[in-house]
Amino acid sequence: MKKYIVPTVIASVLLLGLSSAFAFNDQATLNSKIPNLDELKSQIPKTLQDAEAQILPARIRYLMYTNDGSHIMWGFFGRGYFTGTDNLGKHSWGIYGKGIFAGFYDNNFFWGKYNKGTWKAQWLFDEQYTSGKYITFPLIAVAEATPIPQ
């Protein structure tokens, strides 16, 4: 039994170091090629209601969450705009496109990058750096109603 303790401890330390390196790499990746944040802010609708109006008529649903599961957000997106509500009841809205998203969360500005089901952001959920995953749901197709034969 004792002969397995040292290799287990060594493996644990290596894995911890690797996860720290990946977390640092996320922040470095986010900070590389920072977009013009003033330009992004100017494109964001002023209110949640304005963003919602821009999304209509096609609203696609999404669910996003942090890697540690402490924050979950769900909402709608379409036509380059999104709205959402998180598990704390706080609202978010903003813009997205070309792998970058930006908006307001609880009236505080944030921005981030997304790609293939993963995202990283700065200042989202009132945290300096956050990251996680997202999934989208297909648009619900509304079929033309056909009269029921009498």
pLDDT digits (tens, 9 = 90+) for 32-52: 678 899 999 999 999 999 999
| Bridging pattern class, strands 81-86 and 91-97 | antiparallel
Q: What is the CATH number of domain 35-137?
A: 2.40.160
Cβ–Cβ under 8 Å, residues 103 and 92: yes
Which pLDDT tens digit goes with each residue over 67-94? Answer: 999 999 999 999 999 999 999 999 999 9
- Rounded to two decimals, the pTM is 0.73
Domain residue extents for the chain: 1-32, 35-137
Residue 30, classed as helix, strand or coil, is helix
How far apart (Å, rounded) are the C-alpha atoms in residues 44 and 100?
Answer: 13
Element housing 16 (H / E): helix 5-31
- Write down the mean pLDDT value for the chain: 82
Element housing 60 (H / E): strand 60-66
C-beta atoms surrounding 99 within 10 Å? 12
